[in-house]
Amino acid sequence: MGRDPWHDASDALSIDSMQVTPRPTIEQVQTALATVNDPEIKRPVTELGMVKDVSIEADGVVAVEILLTVASCPLQDTLTRDVDAAVGAVSGVSRVEVSLGVMTDEQRQGLRRHLKGSGTSRDIPFAKAGSLTRVFAIASGKGGVGKSSVTVNLAVAMVGQGLSVGVVDADVYGHSVPDMFGIGDRRPTQIEDMIMPVDSHGVRVMSIGMLKARRDQVVAWRGPMLDRALVQMLADVYWGDLDVLLLDLPPGTGDVAISLGQRLANAAVVVVTTPQQAAAGVAERAGTMASMMKQRVVGVVENMSFLSCPHCGPQHRIEVFGAGGGKRVASALGERFGYEVPFLGGVPMDPQVRAGGDSGIPLVLSDPAAPAAQALTTVARSLTGRGRGLAGLQLGLTPVGR
Ligand SMILES: Nc1ncnc2c1ncn2[C@@H]1O[C@H](COP(=O)(O)OP(=O)(O)OP(=O)(O)O)[C@@H](O)[C@H]1O
Ligand SMILES: [Mg+2]
Ligand SMILES: [Zn+2]
């Protein structure tokens, strides 16, 4: 914007250039503000009662006062920048002055009521009939097969399809998900009794590790404690309207799987395995467990399928962990359940997968053309693009864009 009045004056030889852009109206500024979402709640600041005051000076300077939900809002710079950009784009605005305040307790309670209704129920929105969110639990029989890596990459691939995606890291032992998203020690903001998921690469992330007092604290939660933590992550977290929720489960068939089976019987289960026959046998057990909990297994992903030979290239596949495990699990589970369990594909080994986990930038984003990234993107598509006819998935799906 930045119109220089002196420059305009010296230009004043033609009548046209003397015409001053009309002063912006409050309505125009409000309309612009309505396009700015709170970075955490992902709804317009105007709707959330976050715009306290707008004033427009004669010289086109617009002052906007924004109320933060909480004083320590970690995303206040983003918010300031977004307001500045949106209002600055209104014709006639010469400059935007954004000032920040903080909501009063009363305003915050109003916001909470607006978002969650007045009840204090701890219902899990995804378990309700009519929920349009498709829930996928990523499970495996044993540890270290790449569940978390697969979950994180599927999530960003789905965001790339235009979907709104949440990830719950339900791994009580590991919680590697925050690091894989580059979230580190960022903690969720709390508004009243609502917990805001942490945003990374457009994915709304919540980890059981974020509920701990300290990062290095060891959680030995079991049974009811664990169940409570899971319900908290599903019911008390403000997820907004999600198209997809991915749950990264701990390995095996323990308490988390049981709790989730009871809480989210409508979740679809994706089994991750390696090609190794022994691993495949264990993976089958995870699938059987899901089925016992009345959850539907919607597919099998084989991770670490092969390594491209560093000498010959991709035409020479080195089968580090053997071959055939993924297909075997899919057909064994299909036979057992009496419905087709599709083999969703094999993801090759790629040191970049690990590097992406360490850097917090998943491979699907850092090198989307890499064969492992392509394989993961294909799996994401077959999960979200698969139409109806699969029990365990909700109807009314909106695969791409909205
Ligand atoms: N396709 C792959 N290529 C190379 N390395 C991979 C691949 N998939 C996963 N890894 C690496 O293997 C290790 C285990 O992966 P990950 O943590 O995703 O597995 P997990 O099943 O979630 O493990 P856990 O059971 O401990 O939760 C990580 O170091 C990860 O970076
Ligand atoms: Mg894991
Ligand atoms: Zn070779």
What pLDDT does residue 19 have? 59
Q: Which atom of ligand 1 is nearest to the CA of 355?
A: 31
What pLDDT, on a 0 to 100 scale, did the predictor assign at position 133? 94
Residues with CB under 5 A from ligand 2 (ion): 147-148, 174
So what's the pLDDT on residue 388? Answer: 35
pLDDT of residue 120: 58
Residue to probe by mutation, ligand 1, list 149, 167, 317, 347, most atoms within 8 Å of CB: 149
Q: Are 98 and 83 contacting, i.e. CB atoms less than 8 angstroms apart? A: yes
pTM of the model: 0.81
Distance 72 CA to ligand 1 centre (A): 34
Nearest alpha carbon to residue 246 among 291, 329, 180:
180
> What does pLDDT average to over the chain?
85
pLDDT digits (tens, 9 = 90+) for 94-131: 999 999 999 998 888 888 888 877 665 678 889 888 88
Sheet strands side by side (includes 165-169): 198-200, 203-207, 165-169, 244-248, 134-139, 268-273, 296-303, 343-347
Please tell me the predicted confidence (pLDDT) of residue 292: 76
Query: Which ligand sits closest to the CA of 252?
Result: 1
Please name the residue that has the structure tokens 């030995």. Answer: 220
pLDDT at residue 143 in the model: 87
Residues 6 or more apart whose CB falls under 8 angstroms from that of 309 comprise 316, 317, 318
- pLDDT for 234-246, tens place per residue? 988 999 899 999 9
Q: Which segments of the chain have a pLDDT < 70?
A: 1-20, 118-121, 213-222, 253, 386-402
Query: Tokens 């008390």 belong to which residue?
Result: 236
| pLDDT in the model for residue 29 | 93
Tokens of 337: 């359940």
Ligand 3 centre distance from Cα of residue 317 (Å): 7
Residue 203 pLDDT:
97
How do residues 10-25 score in pLDDT, each as one tens digit?
A: 444 444 555 567 888 9
Q: pLDDT tens digit string along 24-68?
A: 898 999 999 999 999 888 889 999 999 999 999 989 999 999 999
Quick one: which atom of ligand 1 is closest to the CA of 140?
Answer: 21
